[in-house]
Amino acid sequence: MQIFPDSDVDMWGRVRTNKLLIVRSVDLLKSKDGQNRLEHHTDAYFSDKLIVRRGQTFQMWVEFSRPFNPKSDKLQLLLNNPGIRISVPLVDVLEDGRWEMKIVEQKDKRVRLAVNTLPTASIGRYRVTVESFSQRGRLLFPCTPNDIYMLFNPWCEDDPVFLDNEAERKEYVLNSMGRIYYGTEQQIGARTWNFAQFEQDILEACLFLLEKGQVAMTEWRDPVIVSRMVSALVNSNDDRGVLMGNWSDSFEGGTTPTTWSGSGDILRKYYKSSGKPVKFGQCWVYAGVTTSVLRCLGIPTRCVTNFSSAHDTDLSLTTDIYLDEKLELIKDETSDSVWNFHVWNECWMTRQDLPAGNGGWQVVDATPQELSQGSYRCGPTPVSAVRNGQVDLKFDTPFVFAEVNSDRIYWQKKPDGSLSQVHVEKNSIGQHISTKAVGSDARVDITHLYKYPEGSEEERIAVETASRFGSKPTLYPSPTVNDVSIEIVMDGAGPRIGGDAKLSIVLKNTSSKQRTASLLYEVMVMYYTGVLKDTVKKDRIPIDLKPQETKTIPWTLQYNEYMNHLVDQGALMLTVTGRVNQTKQILATQLNFRLRTPDLIITPLEDAVVGKELTVKITIQNPLSQVLKNVLFRIEGLGMQNYILVLSVSDVEKLATVTLMEKFVPTISGSQKLLASMDCRQLTQVHGFADIVVKPE
């Protein structure tokens, strides 16, 4: 590359008008109390590097050898790490979902840039280079050692780890102190743990750990893959990970697991020894360190303790105890065990790799118990799948299901080697599943998230459904016949928001005999990503079907039942389950539906002509019996480049109609679209468009 002298005059004394654009310095504005770190919630990290969360804009200053000329000069940012090269172009208007930057301030030879990052960017450390172009040439300015650290972003709605509750974000991402529960179900103890995720060297240690995972950095964008990696890397069993387990009576040469009170020392020792496993850990230590790593990387995480926790070694989905003819324990055949307590983690994310409804809390367990796809790791396992016995969903759902909801079955071995059941305990496994409360040190029992009430029909259905995927699928009596069908029917385009949601449950009895059942229905609010939020309504319906009868049961969810529960896009999930009394056939069906929102009606009031003012009427009726607050309208299109009109209107009264009259000047002839959308927390997913033919002048 040819470099020209940076001088204002040439050899004949003439003033240069096209000097080379040289980058003199770059300020990443990485101060802990500065705008970047505060807005990205990274001000608590000890590191003095720029630490940002993906899907959010950060700012930086660049100083040049002369004033930047937008007409003749160009600029782009290069972000690099192994296997990834990102070019960030300079644009006039930033758009969501793109790597872009724009100049937001210019002072003499300095420009301040706002840089847009993707909510799906790979996390990790990026080297930064500024590339400048002018008529005299192209120059690269490496910003070494000013690397940028990119993290997951629970504050960003487009990030799979988005958590919509600020108190929960503070607890599960920003809180560096926690409580871990231990003991027995009758005697629950608690210990305070220092997660230390913001302390010196911890962020560097966490990224060092990921580098040992032998997973391409392009995959570091996915919290499912990252959390699964971490569950393998926190134990040392097959990858020289962080902690060496020890469940013996001797801890010579290391630290007794009960001595640890935090993760910081463990992670620093591992990092500074270039990856030598730290001695020793047991389940609560693994869970504490996993919490530290995942919170440090930006994934909401908590420690969870399961009392009377089963360890199913043969994938039977039951805890099996074998007895001889004298009812004495056959020790060498009884490999399943029940732990007084076991500690694992839950982390929060959507599961776009699974059917809707399986996002939210996921079990991740770094304690090395069983191999999963050839490595000692476990999860992420959807807690919702565990609750419903959907053990065919990944990852490791059968193992986690058995930990919390397996039946303890006693088998007697007969002289001919065959086995018979002699006793079943249906409610001894998985007790007082506990985690720390949000915002306090109180213990919260979350057993209901993992299973239905012990002994209930729903809980039995979940256990028996799960067992059919296990290594002993005939353990429970299978239905002799499947002669009853069930489906949920929605008329037309479905219910509208603001009105009652009316569906139908249709049952068909194809047999020549009477069939009876008790149906349980539950309707839950759901994010569009599949994360379930709240139960809105739950009840039972008795069913009596005559031979060959088809019965349609009207089902209604009233507006006043759901109005205070809806989240973005008005999505709901209706689940109906039951068991036919005569045949033991299990009935189950689900329907995801949404409450349709009104359209914005856009009407041009005269012909559209290039260069002439066009008046457009935009109308919307509030369908809700409640006031809409903080309403914004965004209008764009019609060939108007880099132009978005944002209008704020006063509160919209219940059931009221709003009419906006706006004027635009079309600049391009031909068929154009004018787009409008409404932004309001109480009423989302409201938009409209109009096709407008613009005539030439």
Measured CA to CA, the distance from residue 460 to residue 467 in angstroms comes to: 11
Closest alpha carbon to 446 in 461, 436, 458, 460 = 436
Q: Mean of the pLDDT values across residues 176-191?
A: 83
Biggest CA-to-CA distance, the chain: 111
The more confident residue out of 440 and 564 is 440
**Domain termination site, one of 529, 559, 594:** 594
Question: CATH no. for residue 441?
Answer: 3.90.260.10
Q: What is the pLDDT of residue 1?
A: 35
Residue 89 has pLDDT above 50, yes or no: yes
Among the listed ranges 339-353, 366-380, 527-541, 655-669, which one has the minimum average pLDDT value?
Answer: 527-541
**pLDDT tens-digit profile of 387-400?**
988 888 999 988 89
Is 464 within any annotated ligand binding site? no
Residues 623 and 496 sit within 8 Å (Cβ to Cβ): yes
255 occurs within a structural domain: yes
**Residues 365 and 404 both lie in one domain:** yes
Confidence of residue 10 (pLDDT cuts 50, 70, 90): low
Q: What is the pLDDT of residue 17?
A: 42
Q: What is the pLDDT of residue 258?
A: 82
Confidence of residue 18 (pLDDT cuts 50, 70, 90): low
Which two three-digit tokens encode residue 52?
């940002």
Residue 601 has pLDDT above 70, yes or no: yes
**pLDDT tens-digit profile of 60-87?**
999 999 999 988 899 999 999 888 999 9
Residue 594 has pLDDT above 50, yes or no: yes
1 occurs within a structural domain: no
Q: What is the pLDDT of residue 15?
A: 37
Q: What is the pLDDT of residue 478?
A: 54
Query: How many Cβ atoms sit within 10 Å of the Cβ of residue 130?
Result: 21
Helices (H), 500-656: 559-562
Residues serving a catalytic function are 283, 342, 365
Q: What is the pLDDT of residue 418?
A: 86
What is the number of residues in the chain? 697
Measured CA to CA, the distance from residue 235 to residue 245 in angstroms comes to: 7
13 occurs within a structural domain: no
Is 405 within any annotated ligand binding site? yes
Give me the percent of the chain exceeding a pLDDT of 70: 91
Residue 3 has pLDDT above 50, yes or no: no
Residue 4 has pLDDT above 60, yes or no: no
**Residues 285 and 384 both lie in one domain:** yes
**Domain termination site, one of 151, 177, 196:** 151
Is 201 within any annotated ligand binding site? no
Residue 477 has pLDDT above 70, yes or no: no
DSSP 395: T
**Residues 461 and 496 both lie in one domain:** no
**Residues 662 and 544 both lie in one domain:** no
Q: Please give the residue range of the domain that contains residue 389.
A: 166-468
**pLDDT, the chain, mean:** 86
Residue 328 has pLDDT above 60, yes or no: no
2 occurs within a structural domain: no
User: pTM for the complete prediction?
Assistant: 0.74
507 occurs within a structural domain: yes
**Residues 339 and 450 both lie in one domain:** yes
Residue 142 has pLDDT above 70, yes or no: yes
250 occurs within a structural domain: yes
Q: Mean of the pLDDT values across residues 363-392?
A: 90
161 occurs within a structural domain: no
Residue 135 has pLDDT above 70, yes or no: yes
Residue 326 has pLDDT above 70, yes or no: no
Question: CATH no. for residue 518?
Answer: 2.60.40.10
**Residues 201 and 284 both lie in one domain:** yes
**Domain termination site, one of 594, 621, 655:** 594
**Residues 488 and 573 both lie in one domain:** yes
**Residues 174 and 320 both lie in one domain:** yes
Residue 235 has pLDDT above 50, yes or no: yes
**Residues 489 and 455 both lie in one domain:** no
Count up the domains in the chain and report the number. 4
Question: C-alpha distances in angstroms, 677 versus 46, 596, 674?
Answer: 42, 15, 10
Q: What is the pLDDT of residue 190?
A: 85
Most confident of 53-67, 528-542, 653-667: 53-67
Q: What is the pLDDT of residue 480?
A: 63
**pLDDT tens-digit profile of 506-520?**
999 999 999 999 888
**Residues 139 and 258 both lie in one domain:** no
209: left (phi over 0), alpha (psi -120 to 50) or beta: alpha
Measured CA to CA, the distance from residue 510 to residue 505 in angstroms comes to: 16
Residues 525 and 571 sit within 8 Å (Cβ to Cβ): yes
The more confident residue out of 97 and 555 is 555
289 occurs within a structural domain: yes
**Residues 516 and 655 both lie in one domain:** no
**Residues 116 and 171 both lie in one domain:** no
The more confident residue out of 137 and 69 is 69
**pLDDT tens-digit profile of 627-665?**
988 888 878 777 654 455 778 887 899 899 989 898 888
Q: What is the pLDDT of residue 277?
A: 97
